Structure 1
Amino acid sequence: MDSRSLLARSIDALRRAADHGEAYLRDLEARGVAPDASALSDLGRFREALPDGPGDPAATLDLLARYGGPATTATAAGRFFGLVVGGTLPAALGARVIASAWDQVVFNDGTSAIGVALENVAAGWLLDLFGLPKAASVGFVTGTSMGALVCLAAARHALLAKAGWDVTSKGMNGAPPLHVVATAQMHVVNAKVLSLLGFGTEGITYVDCDEQGRMKPEALPELTGRSLVIAQAGNVNSGAIDPIGDICARAEAAGA
């Protein structure tokens, strides 16, 4: 298929997807939040053998719209209150479509000048919002789980470097032990990330919380320069935030 033909089919697919998306959103408030039994049963129509070659894009989109749309959970509807899932904002929905059409590799100016420019703008906004130094580095990740991995890996790297251990070259085998301290209501993602980073979950010291799930600073154990303290901004059950200022003061004083 030549590039001109591929471009034309991409435009047709974009238009058809927009039509299906519009129909889905128009009917969203009139349907139930959860898919009904018929919609769940129709999911079996997607079970087929791996095809020998490509199919018609229009037929694929029609199949998704006809049998996939009714089987969605209506998270964008006004009656959805599960978990902490937010509805897609109109600008974000449109931008996602444009980003898919652009098909950029946001690595540097050579691969995507616009991608790098937009990230730099958003980074500046975040630094301003959180009152962080203008020279601070900002990285964008795929979600909270990866954000936790990056942050805890950085903390591990810093603590071990202070102890004279280069974890990048030496790994964790034989590294000086670190002391992980966390709220008793720590999100399960952090436990998973800690295990990926070579920490045993049995070695975590959990700190008592109040009735809203906030860590009690007075319940913190003795901290040292090898302590890694995990506080929480937004308890998943109550939305409460740990007294991070008090916790950080304790941690900073101990070199944690």
Structure 2
Amino acid sequence: MAIKIEKKIKGYAVVKPEDKAAPAAAPAAAPKAAKPEPKQAEVIQMHESVERPETLVGSTFKIKSPLFEHALYVTINDIVLNAGTPHEQRRPFEIFINSKNMDHFQWIVALTRIISAVFRKGGDVTFLAEEMKAVFDPRGGYFKSGGVYMPSIVAEIGAVIEQHMKNIGLIHDPEMDESTRKLIAEKRAAYERASVGAHPPIESRVGSVRDTAAQPTEPAASGFPPGATLCAKCNTQALVLMDGCQTCLNCGYSKCG
């Protein structure tokens, strides 16, 4: 079959049989290369647009303070994001505080609404616990069970929020290494031996009744010696004087380094 060339020839090349087969194979391979990749699940982060589910999981804490006649019950509810995926996480969503005492109803309601709004805003909300724990009552604070000092009722609510965040994994408490625990145990045993040695039992001249004043004092309800003072680091009444140095029997803090 003759082909008429109407344009000027600028160059030429010999077409081989394999060159004809290559363009034919290219269109067949194109559909395979154009196959879309599988979509990955979108990771949902906490933000204001997240709608409240019908059911939330949470925890309730009881606060018994000498500043209030009745106890406070703090309930913190969490939302579960990305449920059933490797990115699943619990984030605090709302907080409620209930009590029989209605004297402080206004500021309690205001506090719960502001905290809930911060929870739903998203981001790092762990700062709330530290800010609330730094609130001091001008009338003075109190010691809760365990010898921990609370400067105000707001500070104890902050401590409850911090404990809840630790429970769900938002805050990780630095673990004490084995050497520090061993050192604290040794210091506590040495202090108890020194206390017993400083107050030996005295036999009464009348009968064989021992003088109760000479007996070593029993540990306080917190588990630390009665003469212990407040530790500035862990806020616990566990600071004792040993070898001329103030040492905490709870966290190991020492003013001598």
Give the structure with higher Rg (CA): 2
TM-score by length of 1: 0.23
TM-score by length of 2: 0.23
Greater fraction strand: 2
Greater fraction helix: 1
